[in-house]
Amino acid sequence: MLRHYYIVMLNLNLKRKRIKDPVCSYLRKLISPYGFGWKENGRVGRYKNETLIHYYNTQGFMGSPTNDELHNHFAGQDTLYFWADGRKNTPLTISMIDIDCHRSGNPESAKAFADWLTANYFPCLYHEPSTNGKGRHGYFVLFKEGFGDVAVANILKRLEKTLKKLLQVFLAAYPEYQVENVEIKGTPHIITWVKGEKRQIDTMKSGALAKLPRDILTRFDEFKNTTVLSFQEINDLEAKVDKLVIPEPPKLSIFKGAGSTSAHPITKDEIEAISGPYLDFARSWIPESVETSSRAKVEPADLAIALPIVKYCSQKRNADGTMPTRRIKVIWDRLFAEGEVDRAFDYHRWRVIRNLIEVQGGLEMEDRHFYTGFVNEAGTLIKGLAAKWKMADWLIEKLEEIVELGYQQEIEETANNESSPISLQQELQSNQDEVSASSLIEKGGGALLEQNEYQDVEDLFDRDWIIEFRRSMPLMIGLIWGGSIKNMRREAG
């Protein structure tokens, strides 16, 4: 009885092993059988080439993901990666278009670029959010036409070059979007074989791993109908794109002010003041260089540049009172590009400059609370909320007076500075310590680059969420301290 029961269970197990999963089977036929990768401790893990070669030469295979492993990947419990299949005897393989927005860009821009590629060059392209939710992954099928790994790797490299130019065309035509880069991931191993009757691998050079598609359980029909490209079609696309002329980006008319240029809103008088009376005024606040969290240092010239920009942006705040830091950066960048100033914008310096102005009483705070934008589990961007602040009225009046009459340091101001035993650096550090003890800090802080929705169409030139700068930066005072929302999922650039 026991023996019969054992045989029955064995038969059931054998039957269970023969059950095929159509999604897993279809996907497995499109990827390399020579190993795969996985996410481990935040990094991509994989077997070394020497280990893979040993498995193949001794056992005849290297291994591909099991059905259970693939389903764990589809469920988001694990993350798996693939190489393209470079074998001549298999007609098809998949590869991935990686639309990258790690350091700059946003999910909306990545999706807009993927949709644009689908509408114009890659019909029915299947794409989904990237692993971190900021970029986009598009998957297409390559019809290999009997070509092997070297030819497949070369044609994918040429396609990547074509995609990079298409990204330039897209960004020039739609300057409201930001995408950092586009690459081809999921390329094949380059394998050399030992000559002889027995099939043995001599050397193997790995291709680029790509994340396996995650959403195909619910979108399997879309995935099966994704773009299929032949070698000839990639050649034709390359020739077509080579003829494209990248259009000049349209000039934005967001800056309309007396004496300003189309590139930025700062008046000629204020530009001249940056290297003159504004600089003299800045030296009264920064008699010596101020260190930042990086190797960059804040010089008086940096403050002199920031003052007219903050003044303008304070007078052009959003309707809800929030201050768009992104606008400050763009104006500064344009001043630098036009040769009006010789110091480029730097986030580390900007944090200290903003703190410095507040230490001197030059900022009026309306609401320090903020929360950062994040991507939820469904891949939807939850927009953040910026703090509300502006330049103090007395400082605006002071700057206007300086432009008109020049700067002369007041005797009282000089006396106060000379009698003060505490340096500016110490005062900033003292305020930093106060922030560390503040009840507003909950499990650390982060410097924010605030960028909220612009209510005025004329003020709109960039996207409308908050990008969190590196959480590892030291806590600073005022606007850059952490908000009061706990355990919020953060997507760092």
Domain boundaries, the chain: 20-242, 268-480
CA distance 389 to 367: 7
Higher pLDDT, 85 or 5: 85
441 pLDDT above the threshold of 70 = no
Tokens describing residue 375: 């991507």
Residues contacting 199, CB < 8 A, separation 6+:
193
Tell me the mean pLDDT in the region 128-145. 93
Q: What are phi and psi of 10, to 5 degrees?
A: -65, -40
Asked if residue 373 has pLDDT above 60, the reply is no
The total of other beta-carbon atoms located within 10 Å of residue 26's CB is 13
Residue type, 26: Y
- The more confident residue out of 129 and 347 is 129
> What's the average model confidence in pLDDT over 255-275?
73
Is residue 225 pLDDT above 90, yes or no? yes
Q: What is the pLDDT of residue 105?
A: 83
Counting residues of the chain whose pLDDT is more than 70, the rounded percentage is 72
Q: What sign does the CA torsion over 459, 462, 468, 469 have?
A: negative
pLDDT band at 415 (very low <50, low <70, confident <90, very high): very low
Q: How confident is the model at residue 326, as a pLDDT?
A: 80
pLDDT of residue 410: 59
Structure tokens at 163: 């995609």
- Span 423-450, mean pLDDT? 42
145 exposure class (CB count in 10 Å sphere: 0-12, 13-18, 19+):
exposed
What is the C-alpha separation between 301 and 101, in angstroms, rounded? 32
The more confidently predicted of residues 181 and 369 is 181
Question: Can you read off the two tokens belonging to residue 234?
Answer: 């990639």
Cα–Cα distance for residue pair 208/185, rounded to 1 Å: 6
Per-residue confidence (pLDDT) for residue 163, from 0 to 100: 97
Local structure of residue 332 (DSSP, 8 states):
H
Tokens, residue 242 = 């080579």
User: What pLDDT score does 488 carry?
Assistant: 34
Average pLDDT, the chain: 78
Lowest mean pLDDT among 5-19, 129-143, 274-288: 5-19
Q: How far apart are CA 77 and CA 456, in angstroms?
A: 43
Instruction: Output b/e per residue, 310-322; b: 16+ Cβ within 10 A.
Output: bbbbbebbbeeeb
**Within 10 A of 114 (CB to CB), how many other CB atoms are there?**
23
Q: Specify the higher pLDDT residue, 261 or 198.
A: 198
Mean pLDDT, range 414-430, rounded to an integer: 48
pLDDT at 233: 97
Residue 473 has pLDDT above 50, yes or no: no
User: pLDDT band at 428, cuts 50/70/90?
Assistant: low
Summarize the confidence of residues 74-91 as an average pLDDT: 95
Is the CB of residue 36 less than 8 Å from the CB of residue 63? yes
- Mean pLDDT in residue range 251-268: 59
Looking at residue 216, the DSSP 8-state letter turns out to be T
Strand partners, 95: 140
- Residue 374 clears pLDDT 80, i.e. is over it: no
Distance between CA atoms of 323 and 335, rounded to whole angstroms?
19
Look at residue 454 in the predicted model and tell me its pLDDT: 34
Is the pLDDT reported for residue 87 higher than 70? Answer: yes
Mean pLDDT computed over 403-416: 65
Q: What is the mean pLDDT of residues 281-300?
A: 90
Q: What are phi and psi of 433, to 5 degrees?
A: -65, -35
Work out the pLDDT band at 474, boundaries 50, 70, 90.
very low
Give me the numbers of helices (H) and strands (E) for the chain, helices first please: 16, 19
Q: How far is CA 78 from the centre of its chain?
A: 22
* 453 pLDDT higher than 70: no
Predicted confidence at residue 42, as pLDDT, reads: 83
Q: Write out the two tokens for 329.
A: 């950066």
Question: How many residues comprise the chain?
Answer: 493
What is the band of 476 on the pLDDT scale with cuts at 50, 70, 90?
very low
* β pairing state of 179-185 and 92-105: antiparallel
**pLDDT bracket for residue 1 (50, 70, 90):** very low
How much is the average pLDDT of 239-257? 67
Range of 265-279, 311-325, 464-478 with top mean pLDDT: 265-279
User: Hey, which residues does 363 pair with through a beta bridge?
Assistant: 391
Instruction: Determine the 3-state secondary structure of 282 from DSSP.
Output: helix
Q: Comparing 66 with 251, which gets the higher pLDDT?
A: 66
Pick 326 or 27 by higher pLDDT. Answer: 27
Assess contact for 146 and 169: CB atoms under 8 A.
no
Q: Check residue 378 and give its pLDDT.
A: 62
pLDDT for 14 equals 39
SS3 490: coil
More confident of the two residues 222 and 457 = 222
Task: Tell whether the model's pLDDT for residue 370 goes beyond 90.
Answer: no
> What's the distance, Cα to Cα, between the start and end of the chain in Å?
64
The amino acid sitting at 205 is K
Residue bearing the bigger pLDDT, 391 or 466: 391
pLDDT band with cut points at 50, 70 and 90 for residue 493 = very low
Amino acid 371: pLDDT: 56
Three-state DSSP state, 278: helix
Whole-angstrom distance, CA of residue 390 vs CA of residue 312: 10
